[in-house]
Copies of this chain bind each other. A is one copy, B any other.
Amino acid sequence: MRLLIELPAWAAKYMDHEAVYASEAERMELVIELARENVLRGAGGPFGAAVFESETGRLVSVGVNLVVPFNNSVLHAETVALMLAEQRRASYTLGAPGLPAHELVASCDPCAMCLGAILWSGVRRLVCGATREDAAAAGFEEGPVFPASYEYLADRGVEVVHGVRRAEARAVLELYVSRGGVIYNG
């Protein structure tokens, strides 16, 4: 029994080059672009994510939501990006000794599953665009995420930033709804 999970070719192209995204805004712009392209191409849910080296801004991996095309409820943009980053680093944790600090940038606040996945991935920082409320307004459920969940991350040294380029990120959720996209966990 095997699972073959593959980024769409258009998304994989972002990983072909050793691009540097210096600022937080540039990193967020990339993941919002990934989310928007995923919607416009009908490739999956309206979410994008990417892993960067925090200090240099070098792109390590990208992810888009692949739940519907792969019939796989685990394949949120965040889990896809984290799994690809770990594969690239050949390490089950991006926090391994000798590796630079990594961060996950996501076009929306994480659901309960992804919040847990972020903890195990070893990233030291999480940057989010649209909020849980924006996702809910579009019909998406985020699951059992509480203020204490974020305190748990903070206690373990994961810094979290919310609401970066929120309006643009939220606009992608609204675009998806306007096109009649599937709400797979509504």
Q: Using a CB–CB distance below 8 Å, which chain A residues touch chain B?
A: 1-7, 12, 15, 61, 67-68, 70-74, 79, 82-84, 86-87, 89-93, 111-117, 119-122, 143-144, 146, 148-149, 152-153, 184-185
User: In the complex, which of the residues A1, A15, A72 has the most CB atoms of chain B within 10 Å of its own CB atom?
Assistant: A1
Find A83's partner among B74, B116, B148 (CB 8 Å cutoff): B74
A1-B7, A1-B61, A184-B93 known; A79 vs B74 contact (CB < 8 Å): yes
Inside 8 A of A84's CB, which chain B residues have their CB?
1, 3
Q: A2-B4, A112-B115, A146-B146 are in contact. Are A72 and B87 (CB under 8 A)?
A: yes
Select from chain B the residue with minimum beta-carbon distance to A6. B2
List 5 additional contacts besides A72-B87, A93-B185, A143-B152; criterion CB under 8 Å: A1-B6, A73-B121, A112-B149, A113-B116, A113-B120
Asked if A144 contacts B120 (CB within 8 A), the reply is no
Smallest CB separation, A112 vs chain B (Å): 3
A-B contact pairs, 13 of them (CB 8 A): A1-B7, A71-B89, A73-B92, A73-B120, A111-B120, A113-B115, A113-B117, A116-B116, A116-B144, A119-B144, A143-B152, A144-B152, A146-B149
Across the interface, which residues of B come within 8 angstroms of A82, CB to CB? 73-74
Q: How many copies does the complex hold?
A: 2
Residues of B within 8 A of A6 (CB): 1-3
Chain B residues contacting A93 (CB-CB under 8 Å) are 73, 184-185
Known A-B contacts A112-B119, A184-B92; the reply to A87 vs B3 at CB < 8 A is yes
A61-B117 Cα distance, complex, nearest whole Å: 22
